[in-house]
Amino acid sequence: MKKILIIIIFFHFISSPLLASKEDELYKKIDLFGEVLDKIKNEYVDEVNQAEAMDSAINGVLQSLDPYSAYMSPELFQSMQTETKGEFGGLGIEIGMESGLVKVISPISDTPAFKAGIKAGDYIIRIGDEQVQGKTLMEAVKLMRGPIGSTIELTIRRKNVKKALKFNIKRKIIEVKSVEAKIIGEKKKIGYVKLKSFNENSDQQFFGTVKKFEKNFKPIGYVIDLRNNPGGLLTQAINITDFFLDDGEIVSTKGRRLSETRKFFARKGDGISGKPIIVLINNGSASASEILAGALKDHKRAIILGENSYGKGSVQSIIPLRNGGGIRLTISKYYLPSGKSISEVGVAPDIEIKEQGDEFQIDTITDNQLNYAIKLFQSS
């Protein structure tokens, strides 16, 4: 009797008016989509490739979700997989999509794009002779790649600049050394560590540098420079954050799958025994950079100085498809120890210091943000 009752209830649920109406609405939308394609095929002024139109429709669905999800056709997916390190060169920029335009998340330090003057927040409107609007993110990436030593012209729109800017950039192999460091300060020694990215061995480079400074120079504290660091591996951000924390949550990820919902905690032991830290961030600090800065801020372990970070608080996975193509899909989001999401908000600095002057350049005498950090240490 109980089994019969359960079956009746289940049948009632799947055949409920609410579920049926949702399915009816979905089928109506599918029919409408087919009708639109048919109208395009028969009445559009030019002949349209139906397969390409479908690819664009699939990509439109993905890009409506967020700026980082995208579709790759079999040809594009294959070219992304088979390009070898020694054959193709790049420009050195991390990009995303916003309102159908390609937006620079961050130029990577010491790469062709960085040296040419590309800035975080720039919009790329043309790549060579190709109009970018209407292209997918992956198509834009492919256009920017090419033979080493070849030159490509990027046309840029920049906030508060009326005219479009043009940059001729020579492609090269992008090999990013994760860590650069030195001792700075006149009266008191300060350890300056610049993290350019979070690659597979960034943590070991970072730990080795700091331990060397501790042994040979015994600095009073550290400036960790995350400006224009587009992020990278989550594990690296966790390991480096853990180095400075004695306990507590570092970051959590939340997704629809149980495997994507996790919390990461610091192990006992502060690698610099509580010495003060100033972390420099700007609009080009994204993803893993924001995890490091945000966790140290939430635990009051560091002073965050500079400008608001980018706000990329999500994890993407490359998923192959049966047709030989693939999709880049957001599968989870990051949350700081405070429970706040980084997505579209970023990390706000404790002390806001904006770049000053047209001659501003990171880690030079014109770097007013670093100069301010040094003054804080010297006056303490």
Residue with tokens 């409107």: 125
The pTM of the full predicted model, rounded to 2 decimals, is 0.81
In a domain, 324, yes or no: no
Any bridge partners for residue 185, and if so which?
A: none
What's the token pair of residue 219? 């600095």
Q: Is 166 a catalytic residue?
A: no
Residues 128 and 247 grouped into a single domain: no
CA angle 175, 316, 299 (to 5 degrees): 85
The answer on 242 and 307 residing in a single domain is yes
Question: 103 an active-site residue?
Answer: no
Question: What distance in Å separates the CA atoms of residue 230 and residue 247, rounded to the nearest whole number?
Answer: 26
Q: Are 261 and 316 in contact (CB under 8 A)?
A: no
* pLDDT at residue number 156: 96
Please give the tally of structural domains in the chain.
Answer: 2
Determine the pLDDT at residue 16: 55
132 alpha-carbon distance from chain centroid: 20
- As given in the structure block, the two tokens for residue 167 are 């940059």
Active site residue 298: yes
Do 117 and 137 share a domain, yes or no?
yes
Q: What is the CATH number of the domain that holds 158?
A: 2.30.42.10
| pLDDT confidence of residue 81 | 63
Contact of 277 with 221, CB cutoff 8 Å: yes
Name residues whose C-beta falls within 8 Å of residue 219's C-beta, 6 or more positions apart in sequence: 183, 185, 188, 189, 190, 191, 213, 275
pLDDT tens-digit series, residues 339-371 = 999 998 999 999 999 999 878 889 999 999 999
**Residue-range definition of the domain harbouring residue 109:** 74-170
Catalytic site residue from 287, 289, 309, 314: 287
227 and 157 in one domain? Answer: no
Q: Which CATH number characterizes residue 258's domain?
A: 3.90.226.10
Set 66, 225, 298, 367: catalytic member: 298
Domain contains 78: yes
pLDDT in tens, 1-45: 444 333 333 344 444 555 567 778 888 888 898 899 889 889 999
Please identify which of the residues 119, 135, 142, 312 carries the catalytic annotation. Answer: 312
